[in-house]
Each structure stands twice: as structure tokens, then as C-alpha cells.
Structure 1
Amino acid sequence: MTADDLVLTPQGVRFIGRMWPCTIGRGGIRTDKREGDGATPVGTHRITGILYRPDRIAPPSHWARPIRPGDLWSDDPERPDYNRLVRAPYPYGHESLRRADPLYDLILLTDWNWPDAKPGAGSAIFLHRWRRSGFPTEGCVAFRPDHLWQIARRITPATRLTVRAR
């Protein structure tokens, strides 16, 4: 672990010398993550990218990429592009990244089960904004919107998210 890492603790995520409140998956923290279990996976996960809605917010860093209309995330374990960014039209299981609500206005991508996805091992472990404090995610780590923005401005391509078994 380095000072640039995000470390999930029972009190929140420790990063740059402070604690950031967060929510995790409804399935808790698991070492045996599976697609659809709602769990946040144990491990050290690199932050591989930043996506943002350019019609709603400014880019938080020079390496952030815009979420375009038609950007989707494949969550169909039977497809070769499972756990990857795909484009509409896409007739298989997916999640829209350009949502009507603000949940995915800013997304930090992790390397969970990527780039060589194992079918069924779970997809799309993002860091994104929370619905509200204490409301669980589908496995992602979620933050207050202004905190997520501050984190996104300070991370680097070397930043990792560490999730330990509790």
C-alpha cells in the first residue's frame, strides 16, 4: 500500500490522510464474488480510468474520458465483451452508463475481473456517487458527490482501492 491508495475500512475509505464516508455492496464484502451477488470484492484493485458526464460536470482530471450517448457496460457473462465498455445497440445484458439519474455522472473504474474477465466472477466494480448515506450498492463503492469529485481530482493512474475481508 502507498499513500496514494484508497483503503476501505469499517469507518469509510482512508485516502490522503482523511476518512471519506462511503457505502458498499448490499452483499457485504466477499472473497468469492459472483455476478449479481451485490458484494464488494476483497482485493487490491487498480483504478484504471475515470468517466464523467460532460453535459453535467467538468472533467475532474486530464485523464478522465467523457461518457457518450450509447455507452454501456456489458454484464452478460456469456459474451466475449463481458465486463467491458460496449456501445449501443447491444442486445445482451448491460448497464447504461449515461443514466437519467446522477449516479454515474462520475465513475472511477477498477480492474476487478478485467481485462481478462472470468465469466460469472462479477463485473463493474466502480466508485461512483451514492444514492444517499447508508444506501447499499450492487457491489460498487459509493461516495457523497462532492467527496467523489475531490477523490477523482487527487487520484493517479497508480492509485489502488484496497478491500480487506472483515
Structure 2
Amino acid sequence: MVLTPRGLRLGGRVYPCTIGKGGLSQNKREGDGATPVGSHRVVGILYRPDRITAPAPWATPIGPRDLWSDASGRPDYNHQVRAPYPHSHEALRRADPLYDLVIVTDWNWPDAVAGAGSAIFMHRWRRPGYPTEGCVALRPDHLARIAARISIGTRLIIPQLR
């Protein structure tokens, strides 16, 4: 998969997508809203089993206590954690549908550098053109199509676009 000015290219198709409100960055920092430039590997798929069917046989269901740590400096920074979790985190099980299907990348994972950014996912967009906090977001049907075609280790290439 390659991010292009027209969208995310995979298998001869280009899927419209949005990126972080901070644009692209070669120096990603926690909270900057930027999408990190580089070659990132897919390390997992998470999904809401109460809302959608498993998009791939290797996808992992999101439970009510599942969170993602954005507590920079903690040993579990940029890892999935479970509630109760007293440190800064993001809920994976959301009221809105943004995280009904999440493709997890290896940005700053598994050995996270404090402050280098967390939770760089591919997920559903809010609407066309609406930026993310650093993730790559797509139309729900496109995201599902992509999830069904990829595997662990598939690369998400984000070049420094001009």
C-alpha cells in the first residue's frame, strides 16, 4: 500500500483517504496530529464484533475494556492495554464507528520511544477530507476491502509528498 496525492494505492486501485491534520512528518511527536513518513508494517487488525464480522481470519475482537496507551514514558506506551488503566489512553471501543475496524501499524512499536507518537492506525474516516490525529482514514467499505486483502507484514508506505 502506498499513499499518493490521490489516495491510498493497493492492487491497482486508489482509495480516497485522509491523513493527519498536521500533514506528513519525518519527525512525528505525540499529539502533533501528523502522519509519520516511512514504511510501516501491518501488525494487526482489530474489529468490533458487535458491529461487524471479522474482516480477516487473523483479526482480533475489540472488547469493552480494550484501550490504547498514549502515556509517553510508560513501559506500555503505544500498546494495547485494558481498563482499568490509570494513565493516558484512548478507548478502542468507541460510541462512534471510527474504530469499528482498525488496521494497526508498527509505528513506534513494539519498542516505543517516549514522545514519538502512538496509535498510528488505518481506520474509518469521519467524512471525506476530514483530517485525523495522525492516522490514515478511509471510507468504511474501502477499509473493509483493504483489510480483506492484506496480511501481517503488509507495508503501508507513506512518502514525503510534495
TM-score by length of 1: 0.96
Letter paired with 1:23 = T
Offset of residue 88 of structure 1: 0.2
Q: Which residue of 2 aligns with 1:132?
A: 127
Offset of residue 157 of structure 1: 1.4
In 1, Cα distance between the equivalents of 2:121 and 2:153? Answer: 16
TM-score by length of 2: 0.98
Q: Which residue of 2 aligns with 1:94?
A: 89
- Structure 1 residue 71 corresponds to structure 2 residue 66: yes
Q: Which residue of 1 aligns with 2:100?
A: 105
**What 5-or-longer segments of structure 2 have no aligned partner?**
none
Offset of residue 86 of structure 1: 0.2
Letter paired with 2:28 = K
Q: Secondary structure of the residue that 1:142 maps to in structure 2?
A: strand
Offset of residue 79 of structure 1: 1.1
Identity of aligned residues (%): 69
**What 5-or-longer segments of structure 1 have no aligned partner?**
1-5
1:1-166 aligned at under 5 Å gives the runs: 6-166=1-161
In 2, Cα distance between the equivalents of 1:78 and 1:160? Answer: 27
CA RMSD across the alignment: 0.5
User: How many residue pairs were aligned?
Assistant: 161
Offset of residue 156 of structure 1: 1.2
The runs of at least 4 aligned residues of structure 1 exceeding 2 Å deviation read none
